[in-house]
Amino acid sequence: MEAITRYFTAEKGESILFILTGVSAIILALLFLIQLKQPFYNGMAYSFILIALIQIAVGGSIFIRSPKDIIRVTNIVQTDKRLIQTEEIPRMKVVMKNFIFYRWIEIALILAGTFLFLRSSPETVLKGVGLGLMIQAGIMLLLDYFAEDRGKKYIEFLSTLL
């Protein structure tokens, strides 16, 4: 049971990082839009806000769901371990496949941001959008790397319960 609690507690902890990253990005974006009012910084702000909304939504849903998941999986282990094989492991395999999808999106955003940054004129909105995409997608890629690694270990743990 401790491994289950540890896994979902770590998920909840990382969800807080997602939320804090998103909120910080929005605050920084608002500073750029209100105080700096320059095309380059406005472009960064647009990227920051767009991805920050995703970070806050994903982080918030995981934060809310994690305590319920601890109870759900603990009950499965205590009452009917067959559900590990038929429900929890298949659910986690979907989660793991989603990480592959997210990784490609994040890499595509980093590449698109790099292209915009390198190919745009100095101090333009597009150059700022490019840098913003690189920063935000890079943070997402890093956080998802750790979440995916945790997921692999969690599936390995679940397999030992069968």
Is the alpha carbon torsion for 70, 67, 148, 90 positive or negative?
positive
Q: Is 123 left (phi over 0), alpha (psi -120 to 50) or beta?
A: left
CA 26/CA 132 separation, integer angstroms: 12
Q: What is the DSSP string of 9-53?
A: HHHHHHHHHHHHHHHHHHHHHHHIIIII--HHHHHHHHHHHHHHH
Per-residue pLDDT 10s for the chain (162 aa) are: 899 999 999 999 999 999 999 999 999 999 999 999 999 999 999 999 999 999 999 999 999 999 999 999 999 999 999 999 999 999 999 999 999 999 999 999 999 999 999 999 999 999 999 999 999 999 999 999 999 999 999 999 999 998
Q: pTM to 2 decimals?
A: 0.92
* Structural domain of 153: 2-160
Q: CB-based burial of residue 130 (10 Å sphere; 0-12 exposed, 13-18 middle, 19+ buried)?
A: buried
Number of structural domains found in the chain? 1
Name the amino acid, one letter, at 149. Answer: D
